[in-house]
Amino acid sequence: MADYDLAIIGGGLNGVGLARDAAGRGLRVILLEQGDLGGAASSATPRLIHGDLSVLERRGFWRVRRALAERRTWLAIAPHLVRPMRFVIPAHSEERPPWLLRAGLYVYDSLTNRSGLPAATTLDITHHPVGNALKRPFGTAFEYSDCVVDDSRLVVLTALDAAERGAVIRTGARCVRADRTDTWRLAVVDRGLRRTITARALANASGGWTSMVADTVLRQPQPAMAATQMSQIIVPRLFDSENVYVFQNNDGRLIFARPFERDFTLIGTVTHAFTGDPAIVAMPCADVSYLCDAASRYFRERVAPTDVVRTVSGVNLTLASARRRDGTTLFHARRRKAPLITMFGGDVTTSRLRAERAVTRLTPFYPMSPPWTAGAALPGGDFAWDRFDHEVDLARDRWRFLSEPEAQRLVGAYGSRLSTVLGEAKTREELGPSFGPELTGAEVRYLMAREWARFPEDVLWRRSKLDLTMPVADRVALAAFMAGVKDPPRSG
Ligand SMILES: Cc1cc2nc3c(=O)[nH]c(=O)nc-3n(C[C@H](O)[C@H](O)[C@H](O)COP(=O)(O)OP(=O)(O)OC[C@H]3O[C@@H](n4cnc5c(N)ncnc54)[C@H](O)[C@@H]3O)c2cc1C
Distance from Cα 25 to the centre of ligand 1, integer Å: 24
Give all domains of the chain, ordered by start, each with its CATH number: 4-42+153-223+323-375 (3.50.50.60), 49-147 (3.30.9.10), 226-319 (3.30.9.10), 385-484 (1.10.8.870)
- Scored b (16 or more CB within 10 A) or e, 364-398 reads eebebeebebeeebbbbbebebeebeebbebbbee
Name which of 52, 48, 51, 41 is nearest 16 in CA terms: 41
Find out whether 56 and 146 touch, Cβ atoms under 8 Å.
no
> Each residue's pLDDT tens digit in the chain (492 positions)?
899 999 999 999 999 999 999 999 999 999 999 999 999 999 999 999 998 887 877 778 889 999 999 999 999 999 999 999 999 998 877 777 888 888 889 988 888 876 789 999 999 988 888 999 998 777 889 999 999 999 999 999 999 999 999 999 999 999 999 999 999 999 999 999 999 999 999 999 999 999 999 999 999 998 999 999 999 999 999 999 999 999 888 787 889 999 999 999 999 999 999 999 999 999 999 999 999 999 998 999 999 999 999 999 999 999 887 766 678 899 998 888 999 999 999 999 999 999 999 999 999 998 899 999 999 999 999 999 999 999 999 999 999 999 999 999 999 999 999 999 999 999 999 999 999 999 999 999 999 999 999 999 999 999 999 999 999 999 999 999 999 987 665 545
Alpha-carbon distance of 223 to 332, in angstroms, equals 12
Identity of residue 165: R
Closest atom of ligand 1 to 317 CA is 53
For atom 7 of ligand 1, the residue with the nearest CA is 347
Q: What pLDDT, on a 0 to 100 scale, did the predictor assign at position 97?
A: 82
Question: Measuring from each residue's beta carbon to the nearest atom of ligand 1, which residues come in under 6 Å?
Answer: 9-15, 32-35, 39-42, 45-46, 174-175, 205-209, 213, 217, 228, 230, 271, 314, 316, 318, 325, 344-348
Q: How far apart are CA 311 and CA 97, in angstroms?
A: 32
What pLDDT is attached to residue 322?
72
Please compute Rg for the chain using Cα positions. Answer: 23
Residue to substitute in 18, 20, 42, 315 for testing ligand 1 pocket (most ligand atoms within 8 angstroms of CB): 42
CA distance 86 to 122: 12
The answer to whether residues 229 and 268 touch, using CB atoms and an 8 Å cutoff, is no
- Atom number, ligand 1, closest to the C-alpha of residue 269: 8
pLDDT of the residue at 83: 96
**Which residue's alpha carbon is at the smallest distance from atom 35 of ligand 1?**
10
Q: How many helices and strands (H and E) does the chain possess?
A: 14, 19
